[in-house]
Amino acid sequence: MNFKLTEEQQAVKDAARDFAQSELLEGVIERDTEQRFPAQQVRQMGELGFMSMMVDPMYGGGGMDTISYVLAMEEISKIDASASVSMSVNNSLVCWGLEKYGTEEQKKKYLPRLCSGEAIGAFCLSEPEAGSDATSQVTEAIDQGDHYLLNGTKNWITNGNSASVYLVIAQTDREKGHKGINCLIVEKGMEGFVVGKKEDKLGIRGSDTHMLSFTDVKVPKENRVGEDGFGFKFAMGTLNGGRIGIAAQALGIAAGAYELALKYSKERKTFGKPISEHQAIAFKLADMATKIEAARHLVYKAAWLKDQGEDYSEASAMAKLYASEVAMDVTVEAVQVHGGYGYVKEYHVERLMRDAKITQIYEGTSEIQKIVISRSILKD
């Protein structure tokens, strides 16, 4: 076993940290308050290669490993989880899904723009009545010969308005259940496709989350990803990797809050000494550091398994389950260490605490991760 990062991985981590400090930190509180998507910064992330880290360079990607990707996700999430969810969806759901399962024409048509930051992707699985129960798709894609006629509504879609390429999951043949579901590439501007209301959220408020509606949208057959009926498997296969990205985001949120709490505890004095010298605070820091390190091992292990070409569905579910719990625990404690200052926006930790909660919900709730894990450990 080798726990040491390679020089390249360390360089990626440093570059992501520098970018987050120099470009994302300034204005992060205002973007959260005003619910403003970091459009310019996400564009820069595309130009720097953060939006398509694992894509083959022949399509404009970075050709990097998953470990490098989680390192970058962790650093960016320490500062701005709204930017990092956009990065995670574009990298691990949209680009990875298209590169793994798309046709050569689809890859050549969409990946270069999604890699450069010129376009952003969105992954549209959830519906008003189909969140955890993802096979219950109401959205329909009816086969009309040379095209599908798409009708329905998608909910809570990350990059909902800022995206221009949407991977939409829809039911084609209801009798076939999950084997009758397809994934279609829908482009912004297609007739009948409307970006609906923006969600007013507890956390990741800079992230652009929308409802989408599709009314008689004609989607050409060549926009279907994979064979007829492959859409549900596409979604599940893609989410296995997406969960590594969200686990890395949770890890970053926790680590960001911990770093702030550690620094503050050395500066803030009570009863004549820095609060870090009070055992009540020192023990909190010890617990936070230990949980973060444990989460980090699970996240890196899942990424490593993916890089080795081994099955990583159980590992990614475990990483997301645990890292998101740690994100919640650690951010709550980081607010506590800051006392009254932690409860106001200026000190960042209250935002990180609000941002942490979504990591237990999206890309499969913690309860869904337990279904995935328990089925996996019980199957033999």
Residue of 21, 33, 40, 132 interacting with ligand CAA (CB under 6 A): 132
User: Is 363 marked active-site?
Assistant: yes
Query: Is residue 114 part of the contact set for ligand CAA (CB under 6 A)?
Result: no
Q: Which stretch binds ligand CAA (CB under 6 A): 25-33, 69-77, 132-140, 267-275?
A: 132-140
Residues 154-193 that bind ligand CAA (CB under 6 A): 158, 178
Residue 15 makes CB contacts below 8 A (sequence gap 6+) with 48, 72
Distance CA 277, CA 266 (A): 8
Q: Could you tell me what percentage of the chain is helix, strand and coil, using 3-state DSSP and rounding each to the nearest 5?
A: 60, 15, 25
Is the CB of 87 or the CB of 275 nearer to ligand CAA?
A: 87
Alpha-carbon span 374 to 354, nearest angstrom: 29
Does position 98 interact with ligand CAA (CB under 6 A)? The reply is: no
Q: Is 121 a binder of ligand CAA (CB under 6 A)?
A: no
For ligand CAA, which is the closer residue by CB, 178 or 357? 178
Nearer to ligand CAA, 109 or 179 (CB): 179
CB-hemisphere CA count at 13 Å for 168? 35
Residue 236 found at the interface with ligand CAA (CB under 6 A): yes
We find the least distance from the C-beta atom of residue 317 to ligand CAA, in angstroms, to be 7
Residue 314 one-letter amino acid: E
Residue 126 interacts with ligand CAA (CB under 6 A): yes or no: yes
- Cα→Cα distances 303→14, 85, 121, 240, 361, Å: 19, 17, 22, 11, 21
Indicate whether 123 belongs to the interface with ligand CAA (CB under 6 A). yes
- Take residue 369 and report the two structure tokens written for it: 């991760």
Of 205 and 284, nearer to ligand CAA (C-beta) is 205
CA-based nearest residue to 252, from 78, 72, 22:
78
Q: Which residue, among 96, 100, 115, has the nearest Cα to 50 in the 3D structure? A: 115
Active-site positions read 363
**Residues of this chain that bind ligand CAA (CB under 6 A):** 85, 89, 123, 125-126, 132, 134-135, 158, 178, 232-233, 236-237, 239-240, 313, 362-364, 368, 371-372
